[in-house]
Amino acid sequence: MMKNKVLLFTGLFFSILLLTACSEDEGINVPVGENGESISVDIDGNEEEGVTVDAKNEDGEGISIGTTQNIPEEFPDEIPLPEEYLILNTTNINDNDIEMSTVSFLTETANTEELLEMYKGFMEDNAYEQISVEKAMGSTVLKMQKTEESVFIFVTLTPPSSEDSKDVSVQLAYHKTIKTE
């Protein structure tokens, strides 16, 4: 169910982005169902500061995709970041009982092993259970979980942009199931 909604929102996001690229409107409603259901889409920002696209249905379920240089409010403060980093993109998904935030960034201040040790320390300090560590073709994936929270960390050494460059690409995904009563 969640996968279908995410696919629907993502497909609509790209369709709406194409349709509204030259538009001055700040928000639109898009019909999506046979019974008059619709989603509202708001596009906010600019090229210099980044753009955020918010899509929500009538129940408040939605997705927010941002290309800003800011960590999302929903992203837990306790998940560590290296000393210096450049945010590539952020994503937030809220689907009633599920919240997910992702942050993708580049860093030169820590190598792959140092980053993995930092996140393993976070895992131990915050009572997460390691689910798996997978290494393949220059990438490492660390998966951890506790109760209703999961963290997925993808660390990849990127092709160097210069001879002295040691860029490391990191994608952090935080997933939380919210219990409703």
Consecutive 10-residue averages of pLDDT for the chain (181 residues): 53 54 60 76 76 78 72 88 88 75 88 90 94 88 91 78 69 82 57
- 83 in the same domain as 53: no
DSSP string, 127-181: TPEEEEEEEETTEEEEEEEETTEEEEEEEEEPPPSSTT---EEEEEEEEEEPP--
Domain membership flag for residue 15: yes
4 and 84 in a single domain? The answer is no
Domain identity same for 77 and 160: yes
Based on the structure, what is the number of domains in the chain?
2
Same domain, 92 and 119: yes
Tokens 């259970």 found at: 129
pLDDT score for 22: 45
Same domain for 168 and 143? yes
Instruction: Give 142: exposed, middle or buried? Use CB within 10 Å, 0-12, 13-18, 19+.
Output: buried
Residue ending a domain, choose from 19, 39, 58: 58
Last residue of a domain, one of 58, 77, 100: 58
Domain extent for 96: 69-181
Indicate whether 64 belongs to any domain. Answer: no
Verify that 8 and 46 share a domain, yes or no: yes
What pLDDT shows up at residue 6? Answer: 52
- Tell me whether residue 151 is in a domain: yes
Residue 63 lies in a domain: no
Residues 25 and 88 in one domain: no
Q: Tell me if the pTM is above 0.85.
A: no
* Residue 59: predicted pLDDT: 78
Query: What backbone phi and psi angles, to 5 degrees, belong to 167?
Result: -65, 135
Are 135 and 76 within one domain? yes
